[in-house]
Structure 1
């Protein structure tokens, strides 16, 4: 696709807040990103740029307006020559999800490329992500009821991805977003680090071979010990990251949150030391300790080549709900806050 210029503005756009070695940040190529009311053209339609929804080290995500009908979508842009090609993987996963009618992945709308600037994909626009929602509450915590309801919803998202032999490799709160229609529905997003499980074919149909070692992939705060050890990740690593996410939502933080993404070795050592004994108990202080400890033990004992039993994980969450007398019919914390206004 070649760039063209609209009658009423220049073509432009950008990507996401992804770096496989960091958590977030602004791109160093801000001048390549579009401004409000710029227009970009995809393979199918043209779109007017709206507000920036999320910054990124390789681009940004913008709200866009489809010019032919005024419908709003999200556009993820990735600067060309940024050293990262996650948007191609994003596109392949979204395309697969559309073909397989996956219910927990946003709908792919369009894609395009502005020569010497950026590539972009246009997709269904969602509402708040779980990271932003959590930070709106006192002590950045959700109630146990809300977290365990979210546990069931987000586990279903991960299981759907795993069902297609895909692993996400960057499970964290900001990569789950909700959509408010008649009911709240949770979606999994941001597939730039997504990969086919070893021994299967990748998202483009090529055979995927296991590696003895690999680069670090993920966000240090939530990354599994396997990722920290530069080993090939499997389904259980997504669940380990998911566990850190749940613990953070219950406690308001993780013990290693004081360290930056540059301190990966310290974070790894802290995760190892908090896996057993008194430090595990401290880590799970506001959590359903018995069930969460069972999940960690299960993950630690599971051989990398053994398929993950998602039903076992789900059973532990349901047991945590029952044993703590929680009612999952209750509204989410943010719904309750809106009702009180």
Structure 2
């Protein structure tokens, strides 16, 4: 049986709307991404993502919805890509065109010494990636798939190597209505996300809320900082969930070894919040600032 990616293949030199395909950048279970240029304009390159029109998941629709909301709410554009175009080739595929970015956190970590960032870099990245989560929440969306592969840095050509971008909103869910009121949780929610970084709520099929995105962010930052997560060799979701619960309630140092001690204080902040509560982002930023000061002091000694 053909996969979605096999159904949507765009040859180099072909055209999609006003865009010319230059090369394929990558592909996965949900579609392919291509490097493109706008016809008649050869100075700026973009990324074009395609998804089969018949794809039952329809993840591209949610991605477009999020980036359109970002575009409307100009105040939150600091860590998001520009949606340059969107469209449909009837009977074949949907597509979206967005800013071209640099390497993902996942690729950067794998190429780094000991598979981790330096302490100062990790804390700096932690702040920017948390800002992106907060900005997304402020426009009423949960990400629900926070992981290193869904964050990138900017491009060297654009002088943005120190800027962080959040990607891939196909798993996102709108938790706030237009009038600002919050949607009630479903009695049971299916697993959404990536097992390695998913919050405990996923493992017990509970509706995710804002603090669950931050729990996933924390797991990601532990891996960026220390080079590993203690359940990295487990594959069964139930086993991973049990290990996460043990680390959170009984053995926190098992999770946070090699990380700033301030990381240990984040879980208690999250646990204070209820389902409808906005997380205490400011308190977490203050912990990251303390961690950076401590790191700089150690380096200078």
The TM-score with structure 1 as length reference comes to: 0.80
Of residues 119, 129, 146, the one that matches 2:121 is 146
Question: Partners in 2 of 1:33 and 1:50 — Cα distance?
Answer: 13
Matches within 5 A, 1:5-20: none
Distance 2:265 2:24 in 1: 41
Q: Distance in 2 between matches of 1:154 and 1:29?
A: 29
Structure number with higher helix proportion: 2
1:65, 1:72 within 8 Å by CA — same for their partners in 2? yes
RMSD: 2.3
Instruction: Give CA-to-partner distance per residue, 1:34-92, whole Å, 9 cap, x none.
Output: 12222111xxxx11112222311121111112112022101111112222111011111
Are residue 309 (structure 1) and residue 285 (structure 2) matched? no
1:81-126 deviations in whole A, cap 9, x for unaligned?
2221110111111111111113221011111112332111001111
* CA displacement, residues 260-305 of structure 1 (integer Å, 9 cap, x when unaligned): 3xx111111111111134x32122111013x111101221232112
Would you say 1:295 and 2:266 are equivalent positions?
yes
Q: How far apart, CA to CA, are the structure 2 residues paired with 1:62 and 1:258? A: 32
Q: Say yes or no: does 1:251 pair with 2:226.
A: yes
Q: Which stretch of structure 1 is more off in the superposition, 74-83 or 212-221? A: 74-83
| TM superposition score normalised by structure 2 | 0.90
Hey, what does 1:51 align to over in structure 2? 23
Equivalents in 2 of 1:257, 1:52: separation in Å?
30
Residue 259 (structure 1) shift:
2.8
Distance 1:225 1:120 in 2: 33
Aligned to 1:337: none
Number of paired residues? 292
Could you say which residue in structure 1 is the equivalent of 2:98?
A: 123
User: What residue in structure 2 maps to residue 69 of structure 1?
Assistant: 41
Tell me if 1:38 matches 2:14: yes
Work out the CA distance in 1 between the residues paired with 2:182 and 2:269.
29
SS of the residue 2:238 aligns to: helix
- What's the counterpart of residue 6 of structure 1? none
Structure 2's unaligned 5+ residue stretches are none
Stretches (4+) displaced over 6 A: none
CA contact (8 A) 2:120 2:295 kept: no
